[in-house]
Amino acid sequence: MSQRARLTTLDALRGFCLLGILVMNIQSFAMPVAAYLNPTVFGALDGVDGLAWSFGRLLFDCKFLNLFAMLFGASLVLGGDDTCPRRRLAWLIVFGLLHAYGVWYGDILFTYGVVGMLVVGARAWPPGRQLRLGLALVSVGPAIALVTALAFDHLPPSLLGALLEYLDARSVAGELTAFRGDWMTQLPVRAKLAFEGQTSALIYETGWRAAGCMLLGMAGLQRGMFEGHFASPRAVLLLWVLGLASTSAGLAVQIAGGFSPRAWVFAQVLHEVGAVPLAIAIGCTVVGLARRFARAAPTRAIASLGRVAFTAYLMQSVVGTLVFGGHGLGAFGTWSRSTLLLAAFVFWALQVLLASLWSRYFGRGPLEALWRGLARGDFSLRPRVAHVGQPGE
């Protein structure tokens, strides 16, 4: 596969990932944190809303974040030293802080910047070493969750209280009041949630998973994952089966346990274990389709979104918080889960259209150009040469 064809495939996969991420993020734009983790504490869970939640939990939650992190790891390799990777990662941390505290607490840019700094030196490693360490790192989060579940009745009160805060309804009323208020009213709650995501969550879960997936992406790039050579159709089918079996078992444990906090922690072990093979299966499937239909208009349109992924990701947050926050339309806590799922698909389709129109005139997104300019001094919207694989290039 030529370099240009490979990059188009990567762009199409990145653009598709933005749909998967939005399906889950829109719930956090529109509902309290506990509703994302425990759907029984807020909002309906019967009929089509129950199906919408199960659909998101089974096929989207963690899977597309894992896949996006793999793409980010691959992009660190493709960018090489010419892209000033450490300066770019430092600026990504700055963007992440502004995003988390100014717009939406669920930011991933800070995590990618910090973790990227730690793994960027692994770009030159052999793929086998990247693969082994990546698998080890993605296993840390499920291992911590398993120990937590087994020792649940003996956890220190402070740790148990921090865990239960977002697994029951105790935080719901405060978040409803805050996020239905103006920007300054939201700020203390948003800052608290953002800080927890950048400290305790990073240390106990998201940091390990992001680092492991970035390394898996580096190994996958060298093994042909993004060229359709990584696994045979049978192997991809096996990954689908294993991933769906594990995440379905987690879903069953959660429902059978009445969505109790302890059942949720046990379910999370199965959920995270299954999310990695399922992310790889989704990625291989999308890559295969993108290669097969490389000349098709939908593929090219989705690839154009992938080339402005940084701008599109932040656009989702800005628009989402404006629609649901009290500083905008004030719809926080008023949309059903099924409506949110439909809205995610509609908005993503709109983003694909806008990206296609933008790409007719410009080679980079506006925030991609800003990010590149801050790191390398080139703020142009149209690249002088064909872009490399990293968003913003």
Burial class (CB in 10 A: 0-12, 13-18, 19+), 151: exposed
Decide: 130 and 215 in contact? Cβ < 8 Å. Answer: yes
Q: Mind listing the pLDDT tens digit of every residue in the chain (393 residues)?
A: 555 555 788 999 999 999 999 999 999 999 999 998 888 889 878 899 999 999 999 999 999 999 999 999 999 999 888 788 999 999 999 999 999 999 999 999 999 999 999 999 999 999 999 999 999 999 999 999 999 999 998 989 888 888 888 888 888 999 999 999 999 999 999 999 999 999 999 999 999 999 999 999 999 999 988 888 778 899 999 999 999 999 999 999 999 999 899 999 999 999 999 999 999 999 999 999 999 999 999 999 999 999 999 999 999 999 999 999 999 999 999 999 999 999 999 999 999 999 999 999 998 999 999 999 999 998 998 764 444 444 444
Task: Give pLDDT, residue 161.
Answer: 86
Q: How confident is the model at residue 4, as a pLDDT?
A: 58
**Tell me, what's the pLDDT at 79?**
86
pLDDT at 172: 92
What is the CB neighbour count within 10 angstroms for residue 295? 7
Distance between CA atoms of residues 230 and 222, nearest Å: 9
Radius of gyration of the chain (CA): 20
pTM value is 0.93
Q: Angle at CA 237, nearest 5°, toward 246 and 274?
A: 20
pLDDT for residue 386: 46
- Tell me the two tokens of residue 95: 């963007």
* CA gap 66, 73 in Å, rounded: 11
CB 269, CB 145: distance < 8 Å: yes
Q: Is the dihedral of CA 328, 312, 391, 274 positive or negative?
A: positive
Q: Which of 243, 275, 278, 210 is nearest to 71 (CA)?
A: 210
